[in-house]
Amino acid sequence: MAETSLPDLHVCLFDTALGWIGIAWSETGITHLQLPERDKTATRGRLLQRVGAAVEIPPGGVAADAIPAIRALARGEKVDLGSIPLDLRGVDEFRARIYAAARCIGFGETTTYGALAATAGYPGKARETGAAMGSNPVPLIIPCHRVLAAHGRLGGFSAPGGTRTKRQLLAVERARPPSPPGQSAFNF
């Protein structure tokens, strides 16, 4: 069953250093981003399963602007995806605030679920923040891979490949963990 069904939704796939990524967009913004599956066909299938009815076309509008930046990020280039317009219709206020706070985490930076919850105005809601990150419709643009569990633990990752993919994305960015007192680093 599809997560959403938006009118005039378009999709396309594009190749990156990480593999084939799928993107869906409306007139107002990106609605979904599908991280690479085992191959292009699987990525397309997962994206269409998530978005429902959509027309596959060459990238246009907001997607045409987003794709070069996403490709650069996949190559490990320091880019800011924070200005890419999103269309997150149907997202509740809690997730909207969590996602907005997550978009402020810079390239190569990390935070914890608890710290992100507090930044968004929900102190003590680390578990709920983790659930919000797990349902993130636009990974990379909302950089859920940059959000870690307490004490520098990696935490989960719901994208294809799970924590292996999260480690890979953090390595591409040469990410640095948040440094609580007495902790200087950890291994991914």
Q: Cα–Cα distances in Å, from 107 out to 53, 74, 146, 172, 177?
A: 33, 11, 9, 10, 12
- Residue whose structure tokens are 């608890």: 114
Which amino acid, one-letter code, is at 109?
Answer: E
- Please confirm, yes or no, whether 144 is among the known catalytic residues: yes
Catalytic residue, candidates 144, 170, 172, 175 = 144
At residue 164's C-alpha, the angle toward residues 161 and 170, to 5°, is 120
Residue 165 φ then ψ, to 5°: -65, -40
- Residue whose structure tokens are 């250093």: 17
Q: How far apart are CA 43 and CA 9, in angstroms?
A: 17
DSSP per-residue letters across 142-154: B-GGGEE-GGG--
Residue 98: other Cβ atoms inside 10 A? 30
Q: How many residues in total does the chain contain?
A: 188
Q: Which residues are catalytic?
A: 144
